[in-house]
Amino acid sequence: MYINEYLAHLKKEKKMTENTIEAYKRDMLHFVQFINSRGIDSVKDIGNAEIVGYVIELKNKNRSASTINRKLASLRSYFRYNLSKGRISTNPTEGIKTPKMQKKDIVYLTIEEMDNVLAIPDDTVKGKRDKAILELMYATGIRVSELIEIKVQDINLRIGFLSCYAPGSKPRIIPLGRPARAAIEEYIYDARPEIKKNNDTEILFLNYKGDKFTRQGLWKLIKQYAKLAGIETEITPQIFRNSFAVHMIQNGADLKSLQELLGHEDIAATQIYLSVTKNKIKEVYDNAHPRA
Protein backbone atom coordinates (compact mmCIF):
# COMPACT_ATOMS: atom_id res chain seq x y z
CA MET A 1 0.00 0.00 0.00
CA TYR A 2 3.12 2.25 0.01
CA ILE A 3 2.23 3.79 3.38
CA ASN A 4 5.81 4.16 4.64
CA GLU A 5 6.89 5.62 1.31
CA TYR A 6 4.01 8.11 1.48
CA LEU A 7 4.91 9.14 5.04
CA ALA A 8 8.53 9.62 4.01
CA HIS A 9 7.26 11.87 1.20
CA LEU A 10 5.36 14.00 3.72
CA LYS A 11 8.50 14.43 5.79
CA LYS A 12 10.99 15.04 3.00
CA GLU A 13 8.97 16.87 0.36
CA LYS A 14 6.14 18.45 2.34
CA LYS A 15 8.34 19.28 5.34
CA MET A 16 5.61 18.29 7.80
CA THR A 17 6.27 18.05 11.52
CA GLU A 18 6.62 14.73 13.32
CA ASN A 19 3.29 15.29 15.09
CA THR A 20 1.47 15.90 11.81
CA ILE A 21 3.06 12.88 10.15
CA GLU A 22 2.10 10.74 13.14
CA ALA A 23 -1.51 11.88 12.76
CA TYR A 24 -1.47 10.96 9.06
CA LYS A 25 0.05 7.60 9.94
CA ARG A 26 -2.74 6.80 12.43
CA ASP A 27 -5.38 7.75 9.88
CA MET A 28 -3.80 5.63 7.15
CA LEU A 29 -3.30 2.57 9.35
CA HIS A 30 -6.94 2.77 10.46
CA PHE A 31 -8.06 2.91 6.82
CA VAL A 32 -5.77 0.03 5.82
CA GLN A 33 -7.27 -2.07 8.62
CA PHE A 34 -10.74 -1.36 7.22
CA ILE A 35 -9.67 -2.17 3.64
CA ASN A 36 -7.94 -5.39 4.66
CA SER A 37 -11.10 -6.52 6.41
CA ARG A 38 -12.75 -6.33 2.99
CA GLY A 39 -10.08 -8.49 1.40
CA ILE A 40 -8.28 -5.63 -0.35
CA ASP A 41 -4.51 -5.27 -0.03
CA SER A 42 -3.57 -3.18 -3.08
CA VAL A 43 -4.08 0.53 -3.65
CA LYS A 44 -5.22 -0.06 -7.23
CA ASP A 45 -8.18 -2.13 -6.01
CA ILE A 46 -9.62 0.67 -3.88
CA GLY A 47 -12.57 2.41 -5.48
CA ASN A 48 -15.18 5.00 -4.65
CA ALA A 49 -17.40 2.35 -3.02
CA GLU A 50 -14.70 1.50 -0.46
CA ILE A 51 -14.29 5.16 0.49
CA VAL A 52 -18.06 5.54 0.91
CA GLY A 53 -18.13 2.36 3.00
CA TYR A 54 -15.34 3.69 5.20
CA VAL A 55 -17.18 6.97 5.80
CA ILE A 56 -20.37 5.07 6.65
CA GLU A 57 -18.48 2.92 9.15
CA LEU A 58 -17.02 6.02 10.80
CA LYS A 59 -20.50 7.53 11.07
CA ASN A 60 -21.88 4.28 12.50
CA LYS A 61 -19.19 4.43 15.17
CA ASN A 62 -20.36 7.96 16.02
CA ARG A 63 -17.15 9.63 14.93
CA SER A 64 -17.46 13.42 14.87
CA ALA A 65 -17.71 15.35 11.62
CA SER A 66 -14.31 16.94 12.27
CA THR A 67 -12.70 13.49 12.74
CA ILE A 68 -14.25 12.16 9.53
CA ASN A 69 -13.20 15.25 7.59
CA ARG A 70 -9.65 14.93 8.88
CA LYS A 71 -9.45 11.26 7.88
CA LEU A 72 -10.85 12.08 4.43
CA ALA A 73 -8.25 14.81 4.03
CA SER A 74 -5.52 12.28 4.85
CA LEU A 75 -6.93 9.85 2.28
CA ARG A 76 -7.20 12.51 -0.42
CA SER A 77 -3.57 13.42 0.06
CA TYR A 78 -2.55 9.74 0.03
CA PHE A 79 -4.40 8.97 -3.20
CA ARG A 80 -3.14 12.14 -4.91
CA TYR A 81 0.38 10.93 -4.14
CA ASN A 82 -0.27 7.49 -5.65
CA LEU A 83 -1.96 9.09 -8.64
CA SER A 84 1.17 11.15 -9.26
CA LYS A 85 3.21 7.93 -9.15
CA GLY A 86 0.98 6.32 -11.80
CA ARG A 87 -0.17 3.53 -9.49
CA ILE A 88 -3.85 4.45 -9.91
CA SER A 89 -5.72 6.08 -12.80
CA THR A 90 -8.33 7.92 -10.73
CA ASN A 91 -8.57 9.27 -7.20
CA PRO A 92 -11.30 7.25 -5.41
CA THR A 93 -11.95 10.11 -2.98
CA GLU A 94 -13.14 12.39 -5.79
CA GLY A 95 -16.80 13.28 -5.38
CA ILE A 96 -16.96 12.18 -1.75
CA LYS A 97 -18.70 14.92 0.21
CA THR A 98 -17.36 15.82 3.61
CA PRO A 99 -19.85 15.86 6.50
CA LYS A 100 -21.08 19.31 7.45
CA MET A 101 -19.53 20.47 10.67
CA GLN A 102 -21.63 22.07 13.34
CA LYS A 103 -20.68 25.71 13.69
CA LYS A 104 -19.16 26.56 17.03
CA ASP A 105 -18.91 29.98 18.57
CA ILE A 106 -15.43 31.44 18.34
CA VAL A 107 -13.98 31.81 21.82
CA TYR A 108 -11.80 34.88 22.27
CA LEU A 109 -10.79 37.42 24.89
CA THR A 110 -11.93 41.02 24.89
CA ILE A 111 -9.26 43.69 24.50
CA GLU A 112 -9.65 44.51 28.21
CA GLU A 113 -9.23 40.84 29.20
CA MET A 114 -6.15 40.56 27.00
CA ASP A 115 -4.68 43.71 28.54
CA ASN A 116 -5.24 42.20 31.99
CA VAL A 117 -3.38 39.00 31.05
CA LEU A 118 -0.48 40.93 29.51
CA ALA A 119 -0.14 43.06 32.63
CA ILE A 120 0.40 40.09 34.98
CA PRO A 121 4.06 39.06 34.33
CA ASP A 122 6.47 40.69 36.80
CA ASP A 123 10.00 42.06 36.38
CA THR A 124 11.79 38.82 37.28
CA VAL A 125 13.74 36.75 34.76
CA LYS A 126 10.76 34.39 34.41
CA GLY A 127 8.34 37.31 34.19
CA LYS A 128 10.32 38.96 31.40
CA ARG A 129 10.37 35.70 29.43
CA ASP A 130 6.65 35.10 29.95
CA LYS A 131 5.79 38.70 29.06
CA ALA A 132 7.69 38.32 25.78
CA ILE A 133 5.88 35.06 24.98
CA LEU A 134 2.41 36.45 25.69
CA GLU A 135 3.03 39.72 23.86
CA LEU A 136 4.40 37.88 20.83
CA MET A 137 1.43 35.50 20.70
CA TYR A 138 -1.07 38.34 20.81
CA ALA A 139 0.92 40.56 18.43
CA THR A 140 1.24 37.90 15.72
CA GLY A 141 -1.46 35.26 16.22
CA ILE A 142 1.06 32.50 15.52
CA ARG A 143 0.43 28.87 16.37
CA VAL A 144 2.05 27.21 19.39
CA SER A 145 3.88 24.80 17.07
CA GLU A 146 5.39 27.84 15.32
CA LEU A 147 6.22 29.78 18.47
CA ILE A 148 8.30 27.03 20.10
CA GLU A 149 10.44 26.79 16.94
CA ILE A 150 11.27 30.52 16.67
CA LYS A 151 15.00 31.26 16.61
CA VAL A 152 16.66 34.45 17.82
CA GLN A 153 17.62 35.37 14.26
CA ASP A 154 13.96 35.14 13.18
CA ILE A 155 13.25 38.34 15.13
CA ASN A 156 14.20 41.70 13.61
CA LEU A 157 13.85 44.22 16.43
CA ARG A 158 15.18 47.17 14.44
CA ILE A 159 12.54 46.99 11.72
CA GLY A 160 9.99 45.17 13.85
CA PHE A 161 8.96 41.89 12.28
CA LEU A 162 9.03 38.14 12.79
CA SER A 163 10.01 35.67 10.07
CA CYS A 164 7.81 32.62 10.62
CA TYR A 165 8.87 29.34 9.03
CA ALA A 166 5.91 26.97 9.42
CA PRO A 167 6.58 23.37 8.30
CA GLY A 168 4.96 22.64 4.94
CA SER A 169 4.16 26.30 4.27
CA LYS A 170 5.97 29.21 2.67
CA PRO A 171 7.69 31.58 5.13
CA ARG A 172 5.67 34.61 6.15
CA ILE A 173 6.66 37.98 7.56
CA ILE A 174 4.58 39.20 10.51
CA PRO A 175 4.90 42.76 11.89
CA LEU A 176 5.55 43.28 15.60
CA GLY A 177 3.91 46.09 17.53
CA ARG A 178 5.88 48.31 19.92
CA PRO A 179 4.87 46.48 23.15
CA ALA A 180 5.89 43.11 21.70
CA ARG A 181 9.20 44.49 20.41
CA ALA A 182 9.98 46.06 23.80
CA ALA A 183 9.14 42.87 25.71
CA ILE A 184 11.16 40.64 23.36
CA GLU A 185 14.16 43.00 23.44
CA GLU A 186 14.15 43.04 27.24
CA TYR A 187 13.89 39.25 27.33
CA ILE A 188 16.70 38.68 24.81
CA TYR A 189 19.19 41.00 26.52
CA ASP A 190 18.24 40.76 30.20
CA ALA A 191 16.57 37.39 30.81
CA ARG A 192 17.49 34.88 28.10
CA PRO A 193 21.24 34.79 28.93
CA GLU A 194 20.40 33.68 32.48
CA ILE A 195 17.95 31.02 31.32
CA LYS A 196 20.17 29.84 28.48
CA LYS A 197 23.06 28.96 30.83
CA ASN A 198 25.64 26.97 28.87
CA ASN A 199 23.22 25.73 26.24
CA ASP A 200 24.38 26.88 22.79
CA THR A 201 20.90 26.96 21.27
CA GLU A 202 19.40 29.42 18.79
CA ILE A 203 15.83 28.75 19.98
CA LEU A 204 14.33 32.00 21.26
CA PHE A 205 12.11 30.86 24.14
CA LEU A 206 13.66 28.47 26.65
CA ASN A 207 12.42 26.74 29.78
CA TYR A 208 14.38 26.81 33.03
CA LYS A 209 16.48 23.86 31.94
CA GLY A 210 17.68 25.94 29.01
CA ASP A 211 15.77 23.73 26.59
CA LYS A 212 13.10 24.44 24.00
CA PHE A 213 9.56 24.80 25.32
CA THR A 214 7.15 21.93 24.81
CA ARG A 215 3.60 22.53 23.63
CA GLN A 216 2.33 21.31 26.99
CA GLY A 217 4.66 23.66 28.85
CA LEU A 218 3.38 26.62 26.90
CA TRP A 219 -0.26 25.66 27.47
CA LYS A 220 0.43 25.49 31.20
CA LEU A 221 2.05 28.92 31.18
CA ILE A 222 -0.91 30.52 29.38
CA LYS A 223 -3.47 28.95 31.72
CA GLN A 224 -1.48 30.16 34.72
CA TYR A 225 -1.62 33.81 33.64
CA ALA A 226 -5.26 33.64 32.57
CA LYS A 227 -6.14 32.34 36.03
CA LEU A 228 -4.15 35.13 37.69
CA ALA A 229 -6.01 37.65 35.51
CA GLY A 230 -9.33 36.29 36.81
CA ILE A 231 -10.48 34.89 33.47
CA GLU A 232 -12.95 32.05 33.96
CA THR A 233 -12.83 30.77 30.36
CA GLU A 234 -10.61 27.71 29.85
CA ILE A 235 -7.77 29.43 28.03
CA THR A 236 -5.83 27.72 25.25
CA PRO A 237 -3.22 29.03 22.78
CA GLN A 238 -5.94 28.91 20.10
CA ILE A 239 -7.92 31.50 22.09
CA PHE A 240 -4.92 33.84 21.87
CA ARG A 241 -4.87 33.26 18.11
CA ASN A 242 -8.63 33.84 17.91
CA SER A 243 -8.30 37.05 19.93
CA PHE A 244 -5.63 38.36 17.57
CA ALA A 245 -7.81 37.64 14.52
CA VAL A 246 -11.06 38.99 15.98
CA HIS A 247 -9.45 42.20 17.23
CA MET A 248 -7.83 42.72 13.82
CA ILE A 249 -11.19 42.29 12.07
CA GLN A 250 -12.95 44.58 14.56
CA ASN A 251 -10.37 47.27 13.88
CA GLY A 252 -10.69 47.16 10.10
CA ALA A 253 -8.23 44.53 8.87
CA ASP A 254 -9.11 43.04 5.48
CA LEU A 255 -9.51 39.29 5.10
CA LYS A 256 -6.68 38.81 2.60
CA SER A 257 -4.13 40.46 4.87
CA LEU A 258 -5.39 38.51 7.88
CA GLN A 259 -5.17 35.28 5.90
CA GLU A 260 -1.49 35.94 5.20
CA LEU A 261 -0.75 36.88 8.80
CA LEU A 262 -2.41 33.72 10.14
CA GLY A 263 -0.83 31.48 7.51
CA HIS A 264 -4.13 30.05 6.26
CA GLU A 265 -3.84 28.29 2.90
CA ASP A 266 -7.59 28.66 2.28
CA ILE A 267 -9.30 31.99 2.91
CA ALA A 268 -12.39 30.05 4.03
CA ALA A 269 -10.51 29.33 7.27
CA THR A 270 -10.11 33.07 7.80
CA GLN A 271 -13.73 33.92 6.98
CA ILE A 272 -15.00 32.23 10.14
CA TYR A 273 -13.85 35.29 12.09
CA LEU A 274 -16.34 37.43 10.19
CA SER A 275 -19.14 35.73 12.11
CA VAL A 276 -18.05 37.56 15.26
CA THR A 277 -18.39 40.94 13.53
CA LYS A 278 -21.76 39.97 12.04
CA ASN A 279 -23.04 38.90 15.45
CA LYS A 280 -21.87 42.20 16.93
CA ILE A 281 -23.62 44.20 14.22
CA LYS A 282 -26.86 42.28 14.82
CA GLU A 283 -26.59 42.89 18.56
CA VAL A 284 -26.17 46.64 17.97
CA TYR A 285 -29.12 46.62 15.56
CA ASP A 286 -31.36 44.71 17.97
CA ASN A 287 -30.54 47.12 20.78
CA ALA A 288 -30.80 50.32 18.73
CA HIS A 289 -33.57 49.95 16.14
CA PRO A 290 -37.12 50.61 17.42
CA ARG A 291 -38.56 47.87 15.20
CA ALA A 292 -35.81 45.30 15.63
Tell me whether residue 93 is in a domain.
no
What pLDDT digit, counting tens, does each position of 20-53 carry?
A: 889 899 999 999 999 999 999 999 999 999 999 9
Tell me whether residue 30 is in a domain.
yes
Examine the domain organization and report whether 129 and 78 are in the same domain.
Answer: no
Q: Output the pTM of the full model.
A: 0.66
Boundary (domain end) residue, out of 42, 67, 84: 84
What pLDDT digit, counting tens, does each position of 7-22 carry?
A: 999 988 888 878 788 9
Tell me whether residue 99 is in a domain.
no
Examine the domain organization and report whether 274 and 129 are in the same domain.
Answer: yes
In the chain, the number of structural domains is: 2
CATH code (residue 120): 1.10.443.10
Examine the domain organization and report whether 119 and 80 are in the same domain.
Answer: no
Tell me whether residue 101 is in a domain.
no
DSSP assignments along the chain, one per residue = --HHHHHHHHHHTS---HHHHHHHHHHHHHHHHHHHHTT---GGG--HHHHHHHHHHHHHTT--HHHHHHHHHHHHHHHHHHHHTTS-SS-TTTTPPPPPPPP-PPP---HHHHHHHHT---SSHHHHHHHHHHHHHHHH---HHHHTT-BGGGEETTTTEEEE--TTS--EEEE--HHHHHHHHHIIIIIHHHHHTT----BSSB-TTSSBPPHHHHHHHHHHHHHHTT--S---HHHHHHHHHHHHHHTT--HHHHHHHHT-SSHHHHHTTHHHHHHHHHHHHHHH-TT-
Tell me whether residue 100 is in a domain.
no
- Give the active site residues: 241, 285
Tell me whether residue 89 is in a domain.
no
Examine the domain organization and report whether 265 and 177 are in the same domain.
Answer: yes
Tell me whether residue 151 is in a domain.
yes
In the chain, the percentage of residues whose pLDDT exceeds 70 is: 92
CATH code (residue 55): 1.10.150
Examine the domain organization and report whether 19 and 164 are in the same domain.
Answer: no
Boundary (domain end) residue, out of 39, 69, 84: 84
Domain containing 9 equals 3-84
Examine the domain organization and report whether 80 and 115 are in the same domain.
Answer: no
Predicted confidence band of residue 178 (pLDDT cuts 50, 70, 90)? very high
Tell me whether residue 201 is in a domain.
yes
Examine the domain organization and report whether 76 and 125 are in the same domain.
Answer: no
Examine the domain organization and report whether 182 and 79 are in the same domain.
Answer: no
Examine the domain organization and report whether 18 and 68 are in the same domain.
Answer: yes
Examine the domain organization and report whether 184 and 40 are in the same domain.
Answer: no
Boundary (domain end) residue, out of 67, 84, 101: 84
Mean pLDDT of the region 179-191:
96
Examine the domain organization and report whether 126 and 12 are in the same domain.
Answer: no
Supply the mean pLDDT for the chain: 89
Examine the domain organization and report whether 143 and 241 are in the same domain.
Answer: yes
